[in-house]
Amino acid sequence: MAKPPENIDIVIIGAGFSGLYAVHKLRDKYDIVCFEAGEGVGGTWFWNRYPGARVDIESVEYSYSFDEDLQQEWKWPEYFSAQPDLERYANHVADRFGLRKDIRLSNPVKSLRFDKDANRWHVQSANGDHVICKYVIAATGALSAPNMPDWPGREKYRGEIYHTTQWPGEPLDLKDKRVGIIGTGSTAIQAAPILAECSKHLTVFQRTPAFSMPSGNRPLDEEHERSWKENYSERRAQMLDTYGVSLIEYPTKSAHECTPEEQNKILEEGWASKSAFQMMVAFTDVMTDREANEVVCEFVRNKIRDIVKDPETAEKLCPKSYPIGAKRLCIDNGYFDMYNRDNVSLVDVKSAPITEFTETGLKTTESVYDLDVIVTATGFDAVTGALSRIDIEGVDGLKLKDKWREGPTCTFGFMVAGFPNLFMIHGPLSPGALSQMITAGEWQVDFVAGVIDDLEQDGFLRIDTTEEAEQNWAAEVNGAASQTVHHLADSWYNGKNIAGKKGGFMIYVGGFPRYRDLSETAVRNDYEGFLRS
């Protein structure tokens, strides 16, 4: 029998880091329910349990700022926390702030339908819950809808296949196994060195080589921790004033203003800095000038050539077809060095693509590979994927996936015209993954909470954005992107990692301060670009 509908104020979708904070922020004032697909909280850091999974931004930055006691008391064991520590932190926050009673685990949202007469969303979940609410906050994550390769023959493959987001809970015994990993993005680059250590043989199937730099991860030293804890409030505020919500050294000189010796010194410092962002801003013009960018590219290629002993393998690993930073720059713990092991081989699947699964492994246009285990580190239907996979119907039957067929549209990454009272956190065309996502997410949740408070105080029943505002925002987003080298790579940033996915660059690269300023200005100007009624 169908469950009776529940009437509440706000549904939050997702109990990842932004969703958890939204629960904390809103629950005292409003009736809320949070639906989560996973069996536990933590979002990205719940799902991504593959060996080697760890954050590539320093944990002292990549952590919550909303509670002073929490940030003072929590101890990060390492500079770059591993997945178990991040998941432990998410669980600690859920327990410490009593968030669990409002979170329904293993219960993904299936559909959202807006009743324009009642100004209410109807939310249906996989477990048959039907919630009628005023507002929906989609904290569904930018990298949460896995991309599975669809080569034929999967059903006949007799070995084991794991996508990196669906890693088994029990440790795998791989010591006598031939393992293949498909992909060389951030995920594969973290997983591969560990798989190489614990398997009989690892074959890496590479379509596009990646730029990666060493994380220099190590136990967090007390002095570094103390200096952060003594200055947290000041540093968090400073972070929000930086381009990527991260305290890195911002450059003052163009690559063209430096001698080759100066360039090299700056790049060596960047290489040792422990931050991928640092390489992207080694000079003022890395992301805007092909020649300046090429200086950084060649520096990294030479590092690869220095590390990898076999020159042919080294050359295959050197990215040459796109500018550095145009795809997400990776951070690794011994990725290139791994290729010096006897039990690792590299296969180029750009020149000879994978065509099918066989009973015993994979077939490319040139060869057959026998594998006991296949790891698909093939990434995500990013940014829009999680929302597009929910059946969302706005006013007059408008479906979100139809509206976004040619690419996402929205205002400030928060709202889509025709979908009133639905707010996105880290939505498309927001700074998203090009910002430090926990602190940026907190700011976005605070912003949305402020909008909801205003609506309630001023007696409005609904807020929508306009198509004109969406077009203005698209112009701002495209204008910012066109000044950078990002468009010169196919990646999840522009959806070109997914066959047939349309749309342009899906992330706002105008910098967080400008994004924040434009969003806040619109609210101050009596909600310019929004319609309240």
184 part of the interface to ligand NAP, by CB under 6 A: yes
For ligand NAP, which is the closer residue by CB, 205 or 530? 205
Name the DSSP letter for residue 217: -
Q: Residue 306: how many CB atoms within 10 A of its CB?
A: 10
Strands 530-532 and 463-465: antiparallel
318 part of the interface to ligand NAP, by CB under 6 A: no
For ligand NAP, which is the closer residue by CB, 15 or 434? 434
Nearest distance in Å: CB 205, ligand NAP:
6
Length of the chain: 533
497 part of the interface to ligand NAP, by CB under 6 A: yes
For ligand NAP, which is the closer residue by CB, 124 or 275? 275
Give Cα 322 to chain centroid, integer Å.
Answer: 21
Q: Is residue 347 within a helix (H) or strand (E), and if so which, with residue range?
A: strand 344-348
Q: Which amino acid, 526? A: D
Stretch that binds ligand NAP, among 182-190, 300-308, 437-445, 469-477 (CB under 6 A): 182-190
494 part of the interface to ligand NAP, by CB under 6 A: no
Question: How many residues of this chain bind ligand NAP (CB under 6 A)?
Answer: 26
Footprint on residues 418-477 left by ligand NAP (CB under 6 A): 433
349 part of the interface to ligand NAP, by CB under 6 A: yes
Q: Which candidate, 132, 127, 136, places its Cα nearest to that of 34?
A: 136
Residue labelled with tokens 């931050």: 275
- Alpha-carbon distances of 469 from 158, 233, 408, rounded to whole Å: 52, 34, 14
For ligand NAP, which is the closer residue by CB, 124 or 435? 435
Stretch that binds ligand NAP, among 166-174, 201-209, 225-233, 418-426 (CB under 6 A): 201-209
Q: Which of 27, 301, 303, 328 binds ligand NAP (CB under 6 A)?
A: 328
207 part of the interface to ligand NAP, by CB under 6 A: yes
Which x/- pattern over 380-399 shows residues binding ligand NAP (rule: CB under 6 A)?
x-------------------
Give Cα 84 to chain centroid, integer Å.
Answer: 18
> Closest-CB residue for ligand NAP?
185
What span, in angstroms and rounded, lies between the C-alpha atoms of 127 and 135?
21
SS (H, E, C) 92-135: HHHHHCCCHHHEECCCCEEEEEEECCCCEEEEEECCCCEEEEEE
Q: Which candidate, 156, 147, 213, places its Cα nearest to that of 182?
A: 147
SS (H, E, C) 429-492: CECHHHCCHHHHHHHHHHHHHHHHHHHHHHCCCCEEECHHHHHHHHHHHHHHHHCCCHHHCCCC
217 part of the interface to ligand NAP, by CB under 6 A: no
Nearest distance in Å: CB 435, ligand NAP:
11
Nearest distance in Å: CB 176, ligand NAP:
26
Q: Which of 139, 182, 383, 455 binds ligand NAP (CB under 6 A)?
A: 182
Nearest distance in Å: CB 234, ligand NAP:
25
| Tokens encoding 351 | 């020149």
Nearest distance in Å: CB 492, ligand NAP:
5
For ligand NAP, which is the closer residue by CB, 209 or 408? 209
Q: Which of 140, 208, 436, 519 binds ligand NAP (CB under 6 A)?
A: 208
81 part of the interface to ligand NAP, by CB under 6 A: no
Q: Residue 4: how many CB atoms within 10 A of its CB?
A: 6
> How deeply is 434 buried, as exposed, middle or buried, from its count of CB atoms within 10 A (0-12, 13-18, 19+)?
buried
Give Cα 295 to chain centroid, integer Å.
Answer: 27
Q: Which of 192, 377, 390, 415 binds ligand NAP (CB under 6 A)?
A: 377
For ligand NAP, which is the closer residue by CB, 183 or 431? 183
Are 335 and 163 a contacting pair, CB within 8 Å? no
What span, in angstroms and rounded, lies between the C-alpha atoms of 352 and 188?
20
Stretch that binds ligand NAP, among 194-202, 203-211, 272-280, 520-528 (CB under 6 A): 203-211
For ligand NAP, which is the closer residue by CB, 121 or 508? 508
183 part of the interface to ligand NAP, by CB under 6 A: yes
What span, in angstroms and rounded, lies between the C-alpha atoms of 477 and 219?
39
Q: Which of 37, 179, 354, 506 binds ligand NAP (CB under 6 A)?
A: 354
For ligand NAP, which is the closer residue by CB, 26 or 245? 245
Q: Which of 10, 22, 41, 55 binds ligand NAP (CB under 6 A)?
A: 55
Three-class DSSP category at 154: helix
Residue labelled with tokens 């522009």: 494
Greatest distance between any 2 Cα atoms in the chain: 75
Q: Which of 125, 199, 378, 444 binds ligand NAP (CB under 6 A)?
A: 378
Nearest distance in Å: CB 527, ligand NAP:
32
Which residues are near ligand NAP by CB under 6 A?
Answer: 54-56, 143, 149, 182-188, 190, 205, 207-208, 328, 349, 354, 377-380, 433, 492, 497
